[in-house]
Amino acid sequence: MKDTEENMLGRRALLTGLSMAAVAGLAAGARPASAQTGSAGSQAAPHPKDAWLAELPGTQRVFVDSSTMVGGPTALWNAGNIIESHISEYDGQASDYALVVCFRHLSTSYGYDDVIWAKYGSILMRNADPVPVTNPMKVAAGNNGQHSIPDVVEMGVQFAVCGRATRRMAGAIANATGSTPDAVFAELQAGLIPNAHLVPAGVIAATRAQALGYSLLYAE
């Protein structure tokens, strides 16, 4: 009887020890796996096409997105207001912000300089009367809250200009002028406004920016 009881106690101790070891093993194995996943996600190097977004200085990161002819001026207005309010109300500096304005879809044309507008203004803004021969956002006006492209560039604002929309625009210009889409695309790419970066697509730049810690604001 005594031998039986000792055997039972031994088996219970063994099972208890194995159970505790299994639980400890699972816990020990789970914690590093979870930590590695989080670490890899937060420390993964950005794609080279997104490196400029990651490298912008500033502790505050904001990406202002626009996709319409009305939204483009509003995006400038928002960008200027953010930085000016940060300076006046938070005792900050413009350099505290990594702020990007995106011109995509119908607002993409605002991403080209005066040389492009002088040559292709009638195509960039159809049905306009008079036809613009300079970038409309070069001048401070009511629709951009008195925040022109030169004004926000002086504040350090950067621009993301949609590459896919630029390709489409190059095709339209080529059809109207008898040039080739590739030649016009190269011309548009060389004629971007200051602080501008031609991105693969405005929509993907917005999502990539969020992954890099930018707050997203849509201007309409």
CATH of the domain at 214: 3.40.1260.10
Band of pLDDT at residue 172, cut at 50, 70 and 90? very high
Q: Is the dihedral of CA 190, 196, 197, 198 positive or negative?
A: negative
The confidence score (pLDDT) of residue 128 equals 83
The confidence score (pLDDT) of residue 114 equals 97
- Are residues 89 and 179 located together in one domain of the fold? yes
Average pLDDT over residues 45-53: 93
Band of pLDDT at residue 41, cut at 50, 70 and 90? very low
Band of pLDDT at residue 126, cut at 50, 70 and 90? confident
The confidence score (pLDDT) of residue 205 equals 98
- Are residues 29 and 60 located together in one domain of the fold? no
Asked if 95 and 107 touch (Cβ cutoff 8 Å), the reply is: no
The pLDDT tens digits of the residues spanning 53-77 come to: 999 999 999 999 999 999 999 999 9
Structural domains counted in the chain? 2
- Are residues 21 and 97 located together in one domain of the fold? no
- Are residues 33 and 69 located together in one domain of the fold? no
- Are residues 53 and 141 located together in one domain of the fold? yes
Average pLDDT over residues 105-122: 97
- Are residues 118 and 18 located together in one domain of the fold? no
By percentage, how much of the chain surpasses pLDDT 90? 75
Question: Taking 70 as the threshold, does the pLDDT of residue 111 lie above it?
Answer: yes
Domain that holds residue 107: 48-218
List the one residue out of 20, 111, 131 whose CA is nearest residue 71: 111
The pLDDT tens digits of the residues spanning 81-109 come to: 999 999 999 999 999 999 999 999 999 99
The confidence score (pLDDT) of residue 153 equals 98
Q: Which residue has the higher pLDDT, 112 or 17?
A: 112
Tokens describing residue 193: 């406004």
Q: Is the peptide bond before 181 cis (omega within 30 degrees of 0)?
A: no
The confidence score (pLDDT) of residue 127 equals 79
- Are residues 103 and 156 located together in one domain of the fold? yes
Q: Report the alpha-carbon distance of residue 111 to residue 107 in Å, rounded.
A: 8
- Are residues 103 and 140 located together in one domain of the fold? yes
- Are residues 13 and 65 located together in one domain of the fold? no
- Are residues 121 and 100 located together in one domain of the fold? yes
- Are residues 61 and 80 located together in one domain of the fold? yes
Question: Taking 50 as the threshold, does the pLDDT of residue 16 lie above it?
Answer: no
Band of pLDDT at residue 36, cut at 50, 70 and 90? very low
- Distance set, CA 107 to CA 67, 124, 159, 185 (Å): 5, 10, 12, 17
- Are residues 122 and 190 located together in one domain of the fold? yes
For residue 8, how far is the Cα from the chain centroid? 66
Q: Which residue has the higher pLDDT, 28 or 178?
A: 178
